[in-house]
Amino acid sequence: DGGRVIVLLNSTTRRDTGGKIVGVISVGQDITERKRVENALKESEARLLALAEASPAAIYLKDLDGQFLLASRAYRNWYGAQGDVRRKTVYDFFPEEDADMYTAHDREVIECRKSLEWEINVPSPSGKCLVVHSVQFPIFGSDGELTGIGGINMDITESKAAAAQIIQASKLSTLGEMATSVAHELNQPLSVIRMAAGNSLRKISNGSAKYEYLTGKLERISTQAERAAAIITHMQMFGRKASEEPCPIDPCDMVRGALGLMGEQLRLAEIDIKTELPEDCPSVKGHLIQTEQVILNLLTNARDAIQSYDQLKEKRIRLAVETEDSENIKVIVEDTGGGIPDNVVERIFEPFFTTKEIGMGTGLGLSVSYGIVRDMGGTIEASNTNRGARFVITLPIADAKKEMG
């Protein structure tokens, strides 16, 4: 058709019996299509490399032996990998302990042949510790065989810090709302201390104080002082930022801790609290203070819903901890406050969304609770019962939960 083709020419000399060259034999092969495919592949690789180089995320590809095939500029900058990283492994750039962790992640992706996610702390060359959300995925060839793995690491340090600030602001807001309740909680042991001290002083002044009597009063004063100190310590702990690493916690302790801070307030509101807590409960992994905050947010909403109905006959909140199966545990909070309007149930966990009157809520409580539960690898769902709202928190049991790197 008059077009040009690309030919691969293989030639060899032809010799006579004396070894003298008498000619040339050549075989030509049309490789036009092969060169077109090769050029298209090079262009595709160039586009992939340009995309990876321009991305703020740290992107990499490895073969099944863990050798890098590609590492983006962000990856090299984050981890101080200089020069050409191809055919090198994580052991060329990281301390052995970190390299072992990354290699274990690679093996897990290869074995399960599906995408996995981790949240890891990574020291950068500048000395700053980065919080990284890592997504790793398998790469399959055209024949369906596994050929390598890829990864996308995103720096979420700032977003984690912002989320922590929101959680802290929500906690302080909750503390403010509980001020009256805590005052009542402290007033009880202080009243006992005042009465015991007053009675002891009167006995001493009229000379009728006996050793056994004074000993009993002092023991009572000591017990009530310890109770008051425990309340104050709990408040101080609740107000602090959660900087410690997640650790195993008893879901029943979450409920007890929240009721310890808010139980008196609910009693003053004439709300009956029904708890269903198993004697032996599997642990979940998280921050105790943050999980108490989730329960407090739900209790606060339940209280407000119940109090909004002046003529409500049954004022009750039910708190239950149930083992769903060998992998998950449920924490249930139910109330008799009339429920959530059907047209807002789907939006109930959105930031700054609230059904309360202006000035009665920030709209952050349920959003913060959603984030805390999500970071623990769990879920929180809202629904309505015949008498009110029902929130179900599902958390993975610590032993069954995959450890974060």
Residue 359 has pLDDT above 60, yes or no: no
The mean predicted confidence, pLDDT, of the chain is 81
Tokens representing residue 276 in the block: 């269903």
pLDDT top residue among 44 and 180: 44
pLDDT band (50, 70, 90) for residue 228: confident
Share above pLDDT 90 across residues of the chain, in percent, rounded to a whole number: 20
Share above pLDDT 70 across residues of the chain, in percent, rounded to a whole number: 83
Mean pLDDT of the region 204-221: 86
pTM score of the predicted model: 0.51
Tokens representing residue 105 in the block: 């992640």
Nearest alpha-carbon partner for 378 in 289, 284, 282: 284
In tens, the pLDDT along 280-290 reads 889 998 888 78
pLDDT at 405: 37
pLDDT at 358: 46
- What the chain holds in terms of domains, given with CATH numbers, is 42-155 (3.30.450.20), 161-400 (3.30.565.10)
Distances (CA, A) of 190 to 163, 222, 238, 258, 395: 38, 11, 22, 22, 39
pLDDT top residue among 85 and 309: 85
pLDDT at 352: 59
Q: Which residues of 38-65 are buried (b: 16+ CB within 10 A; e: fewer)?
A: eeeeeeeeeeeeeebeeeebbbbbbeee
Q: Which of 119-133, 250-264, 334-348 has the lowest mean pLDDT?
A: 119-133
Mean pLDDT of the region 222-245: 67
DSSP 63-109: ETTS-EEEE-HHHHHHHT--S--TT--GGGTS-HHHHHHHHHHHHHH
Mean pLDDT of the region 124-132: 75
pLDDT top residue among 393 and 235: 393
In tens, the pLDDT along 8-24 reads 888 888 888 888 888 88
> Cα(402)–Cα(393) distance, rounded to whole angstroms?
19
pLDDT top residue among 358 and 112: 112
Cβ neighbours of residue 233 under 8 Å, at least 6 residues apart? none
Q: Which of 86-90, 154-158, 316-320 has the lowest mean pLDDT?
A: 154-158
| Bridge partners, residue 15, by sequence | 21
Mean pLDDT of the region 96-117: 90
In tens, the pLDDT along 251-275 reads 999 899 888 878 877 887 889 999 9
pLDDT band (50, 70, 90) for residue 105: very high
Residue 97 has pLDDT above 80, yes or no: yes
Nearest alpha-carbon partner for 196 in 216, 171, 167: 216
Q: Which of 101-105, 355-359, 393-397 has the lowest mean pLDDT?
A: 355-359
Tokens representing residue 366 in the block: 């349920």
Residue 276 has pLDDT above 90, yes or no: yes
pLDDT at 310: 65
pLDDT band (50, 70, 90) for residue 67: very high
Mean pLDDT of the region 159-186: 64
pLDDT band (50, 70, 90) for residue 403: very low
Q: Which of 155-159, 240-244, 294-298, 342-346 has the lowest mean pLDDT?
A: 240-244
Q: Which of 57-61, 177-181, 203-207, 277-281 has the lowest mean pLDDT?
A: 177-181
Residue 177 has pLDDT above 80, yes or no: no
Strand boundaries in 277-327, DSSP class E: 284-286, 316-323
Mean pLDDT of the region 193-218: 86
Residue 161 has pLDDT above 50, yes or no: yes
pLDDT at 109: 92
